[in-house]
Amino acid sequence: MKSKLFILVLVLVLSILAATPIVAAPFHSTSLRDIVAAPCAPGAAYDPACDVNHDGVVNVLDVQLTAGHWNQTGTWLNDNSHNHLGQTWLGASNPLTISGAFGAPLYSPLNLSNSIGVGLRITSAGGGSGIWIDATSSNGVEIRSAQNNGVYVNSAGKDGLFVCRTGSASGCTPDASNNGVEIANAQDNGVYVNSAGSTGVYVYLADSNGMYVAMAGHYGVDVTGINLAGYFLGNIQVTGNCSGCLLATFGVNAGDKPLAPGDLVSLSGLRESGVDSVPMLMEVQMASGSDAVVGVVQGWAELITEEEPRPTEIGLRLVPREGSADPGQYVTIAYSGLTQVKVSGPLAQGSKLAAGTDGAARGLRTINLDGVELAENASIIGVALEPLAAVDGLIWVLVNVQ
């Protein structure tokens, strides 16, 4: 009878213990003393951190789930079934560190996604950098796609963007002034634009130089493009040599014949242009005989409408194009420099050229009078830089219309 009573009391005690909320011990605890001394001990105040399955009760089931988390027995709740949203983490000398090898699909230890605002905001960084990248095997910062600006700097106490050195360049000496973009030392190009749908580099307003190159080992500015390599609304001053320069202007084909590259043209009138950077347009036609030649056709010209014109501009400009200019079409006309000219031959190298027929140049005629070589009274187009054995063709000419 006594043994039956003992068993009944033991069962009753075990039932009460099973119903009493208890908490899982710390993961490293192995002794009963550790469990009792822990913050989540039986009889302690409810702590959400001890509620492994988030059912509002801390009991033996939470202990089993904790054991299962460490690959022992039982099951455990998925790690993604909880969050820390709305929390503020405070600390000092105990930073959050994420390390490891993170593969596909994100290849990143931290992934942030926000459909209505910014991806990452640095509210304050004290006296240090907002973002510091100590070392990376690829790009320091990569913007795969941006609806607006790839990098936007609203305000900077010094340089908006500062690059100390690139490539194998050694050392850099920052400029004392506050620059929009500063490249202290670059192994290759300071700024390189491979392709731009509109303007590669655009300076809207500059109190001093829009662009200044103090010294260049090769080219200070090297630009190529299908439109204009350079576009200047104001005057241009060149204090050094202008190597290979060809001076040209724009006109309108006022004749009844197409004007091909190399044709000589004469002036038939003048009209207001209505486009930027060209105050007046020459009305020209194919030169012939004694006509006053004003230049050599380079090609036709296309009228471009600017989507966002500068405040001081009309918003229309002419761009040189290759090919013939039909009657009524804009035409590009060279009047000084090295270019190809349609010539009627034969012709010797170094010959002075005058206007012939059908837009072609011819050799200047001379006569010998008592041993003196006299040239005809005709306008000089330029000097032939190569001979022409055939009847006609295009040759290189140093044009200097007089």
Between residues 130 and 391, the one the model is more confident about? 130
Is 336 a residue whose pLDDT tops 60? yes
62: which residues sit within 8 A by CB, 6+ positions away? 22, 23, 24, 50, 51, 52, 53
For residue 45, the 8-state DSSP code is P
Asked if 253 contacts 331 with a C-beta cutoff of 8 angstroms, the reply is: yes
CA dihedral 370, 372, 373, 377 (to 10 degrees): -90
The angle formed by the CA atoms of residues 16, 18 and 19, to the nearest 5 degrees, is 65
Tokens 């033996």, residue located: 60
Is 30 a residue whose pLDDT tops 80? no
CB atoms under 10 Å from CB of 185, counted, come to 16
CA dist 6 and 18 (Å) reads: 18
The angle formed by the CA atoms of residues 328, 334 and 336, to the nearest 5 degrees, is 155
Give pLDDT tens digits for 70-79. 444 444 445 5
356: which residues sit within 8 A by CB, 6+ positions away? 288, 289, 343, 344, 362
Confidence of residue 10 (pLDDT cuts 50, 70, 90): very low
Instruction: Indicate the residue type of 291.
Output: D
CA dist 321 and 301 (Å) reads: 5
Please list the alpha-helical segments (H only) found in 120-222.
none
Tokens 């983490």, residue located: 89
31: which residues sit within 8 A by CB, 6+ positions away? none
H or E element that contains 32 = helix 32-37
Two structure tokens written together for 342: 């349609």
- Give the CA distances from residue 360 to residues 126, 147, 159, 388, in Å, rounded to whole numbers and listed in that order: 75, 54, 57, 13
Give pLDDT tens digits for 182-204. 888 888 888 888 887 777 787 77
Q: What is the pTM of this model?
A: 0.57
CB atoms under 10 Å from CB of 59, counted, come to 18
Is 42 a residue whose pLDDT tops 60? no
Calculate the average pLDDT of the chain: 79
CA dist 329 and 15 (Å) reads: 102
CB atoms under 10 Å from CB of 169, counted, come to 14
Span between the terminal Cα atoms of the chain, in Å: 139
Give pLDDT tens digits for 80-92. 555 667 778 788 8
Give pLDDT tens digits for 240-280. 888 888 999 999 999 999 999 999 999 999 999 888 878 89
Which residue segments constitute the domains of the chain, with CATH numbers given? 8-79 (no CATH), 153-192 (no CATH), 247-400 (2.40.300.10)
Tokens 């506050």, residue located: 178
Is 1 a residue whose pLDDT tops 90? no
Helix or strand or coil: residue 281? strand
Question: Is residue 274 packed enough to be buried (19+ CB in 10 Å), middle (13-18) or exposed (0-12)?
Answer: exposed
Q: Of 294, 292, 289, 383, whose CA–CA distance to 331 is shortest?
A: 294
Q: What are the residues facing 166 on neighbouring strands?
A: 186
Asked if 55 contacts 79 with a C-beta cutoff of 8 angstroms, the reply is: no
Q: What is the pLDDT of residue 350?
A: 92
Judge if the upstream peptide bond of residue 105 is cis by omega within 30 degrees of 0. yes
Confidence of residue 27 (pLDDT cuts 50, 70, 90): very low
The angle formed by the CA atoms of residues 397, 399 and 402, to the nearest 5 degrees, is 140
Of 94-103, 227-236, 377-386, where does mean pLDDT reach its minimum?
227-236
